[in-house]
Amino acid sequence: MSENSLANSSKLLVVLTSLPNLEVATALARALVERNFAACVQLTEGIQSIYRWKGKVCEEHEVLLSAKTIASKWLEISSFIQEQHPYDLPEILAFSPEQYEKQYGKWVQSEVNSKS
């Protein structure tokens, strides 16, 4: 692996998905941390989603899940969320922060790469 590939594979990612309720979101969050797909997962209750699904405008209360991981875990975490998610077509988005505190980034990397 080239040095550039190695640097990109350890780049911090924030993975987002929305879930129907806190119980489902908490179960998924715990599973992501326990399996070392994410170092930390935050849940935000009370989001209101308005979207079009199968030609109909829908409105739902949801919980936003925000998982902190690294780029090399993207395929694993996105596949796991897809498999575990209760929606037919879950939103699974990943963003790389332009800037983040160096020690926090190292902590995320060490947690997702640990064998525990």
Q: How far apart, in whole angstroms, are the C-alpha atoms of residue 2 and residue 77?
A: 23
pLDDT single digits (tens) 77-109? 999 999 999 999 999 999 999 999 999 999 999
- Residue 65 parent element (H or E): strand 56-70
> For the chain, what is the total number of helices (H) and then of strands (E)?
4, 4
0.85 surpassed by pTM: yes
Q: What tokens were used for 24? A: 């489902």
Task: Give yes or no for a contact between 63 and 91, defined as CB atoms under 8 angstroms apart.
Answer: no
pLDDT greater than 90 at residue 68: yes
Kindly list the distances between the CA atom of residue 84 and the CA atoms of 39, 49, 52, 71, in Å, as whole numbers in the listed order. Answer: 18, 20, 23, 20
Using DSSP, state whether 1 is helix, strand or coil. coil
Closest Cα partner for 49 from 91, 109, 97, 108? Answer: 91
- Identify the residue whose tokens are 């990109």: 8
Domains and CATH numbers, the chain: 20-105 (3.30.70.120)
Confidence at residue 7, expressed as pLDDT on a 0 to 100 scale = 52
